[in-house]
Amino acid sequence: MADNEIDTESDAGFDAGGVGVWTDEDDFEVTRERMIAYAEATNDPIDAHRTGEVAPPVFAIVPVFNALLPAVLSVAPVEAAIRIVHGEQDFLFHRPIRAGDVLTSRARPIGFAGKPSGSTVTVHIESRDANHELVNEQWVTSFFRNVDAGATVGDPAPAHDVGTAGAPVADVRAHVDEDQTFRYSPAAGDPMPIHLDEDIAKLAGLPGIIAHGLCMLAFTSWAVLTEVAGGRTDRLRRLAVRFAKPVLPGQDLTTSIWDAGDGRYAYESTVGDTVVIKNGLAEIV
C-alpha cells in the first residue's frame, strides 16, 4: 500500500470507507406538542419554549436522530455501540425551528481517531427546510470508551475552546431530577439503555444510569439564553461543548458563564467541584 493510501479497515473494525459518505435523507415534521414535550423534559423555564412558540435550541437533535446513528455505525463496529457516550456537540443555527417545519436531514462521518483509552467518531449533519434552506448544522462527536480504532482518519470537529478568565458574569444552578432520563428519552426519541437501565449502564462500565449528555446541554442552553440573550432563541447562532464527565440523576448542576467578547460566551458546568461540561461556547447576536 502506498504511503498516501488509507487502510479502510482499522484494527478494531472501524471502516474508513464510510468517511465522507452522506446517509440517505430523512424527513421529520415538527409539531408544537413535540417541542413543548422537549422543553418540559429538560426543565426549560423559557415561556416561548414551554408554549411551543419556538423550539428549544437543543431540540435540533431530535429531527436528525435517524440520520445520526447510521452515519456513526457506517464507520464504527456495531458491537462497540454499548461503549458509546457523547463526546462533543456543536450546533450552528441558521434560524430557529418552529412548529410546522418539515426538516430533511442527512449526515456524514468526517473522521475518527483511535487511542487505547477510547476512540472518537465525528459526524457532520445538516437539516434543511421545505425550501431547501439550511436550518442548522451539527457536528456530533461520539466517544467509544476503551475501544481503540487503531488509526486516525479524516478531520475532527471545529474547535470551540475560547477559554475562561476572570469572574463569571453568571452562575446558574439547576437540579437534575431523579426521573429526568425517563422523561427525556421519549421526548427526544433517544432509547439508549445506559440512560434507562441500571444493569446495562453498569455492564458498560458506568456507575449506573447517567443523564443524557444532550439533556444536560439543554440545561446549559437555557441557562445561557436566560442570562445573556434575554431568553431569545433567535439570538443564538452557535452552541458547542465537550462532555467531560457523566451527570447522575439527583445531582445539582451549576453552569458558569464568562463574557469572551464579540458576542461570544464561554461556559462550563460543574457538579460540586467536578467539571462535567467544558469548553462551552455560545455565540449571541
pLDDT digits (tens, 9 = 90+) for 244-259: 999 999 999 999 999 9
Q: Tell me, what's the pLDDT at 15?
A: 94
Rounded CA-CA distance 241/88 in Å is 6
Q: What architecture does CATH give domain 16-284?
A: Roll (3.10)
Cell numbers representing residue 40 in the block: 418540559
Q: What angle do CA 150, 74, 135 make, to 5 degrees?
A: 120
Distance between first and last Cα of the chain = 50
Tell me if 246 sits within 8 A of 261, measured CB to CB: no
**For the chain, what are the domain ranges?**
16-284
DSSP characters over 61-107? GGGGHHHHHHHHHTTS-GGGGGGEEEEEEEEEESS---TT-EEEEEE
Residue with cell 477510547: 118
Sign of the C-alpha dihedral computed for residues 257, 186, 139 and 238 taken in this order: negative
Q: Tell me, what's the pLDDT at 204?
A: 83
Radius of gyration of the chain measured on its C-alpha atoms: 18
92-150 residue pLDDT tens: 999 999 999 999 999 999 999 999 999 999 999 999 999 999 999 999 999 998 999 99
pLDDT tens per residue across all 285 residues of the chain: 333 333 333 456 899 999 999 999 999 999 999 999 999 999 999 999 999 999 999 999 999 999 999 999 999 999 888 888 889 999 999 999 999 999 999 999 999 999 999 999 999 999 999 999 999 999 999 999 899 999 999 999 999 999 888 899 999 999 999 999 999 999 999 988 999 999 999 988 889 999 999 999 999 999 999 999 999 999 999 999 999 999 999 999 999 999 999 999 999 999 999 999 999 999 999
Count CB-CB contacts under 10 A for residue 245.
Answer: 14
How large is the greatest C-alpha to C-alpha distance in the chain, in angstroms?
Answer: 59
Instruction: Spell out the residues 6+ positions from residue 236 whose beta carbon is closer than 8 angstroms to its own.
Output: 57, 93, 221, 224, 225, 229, 282, 283, 284
Cα dihedral: 120, 123, 124, 127 (round 10) = -140
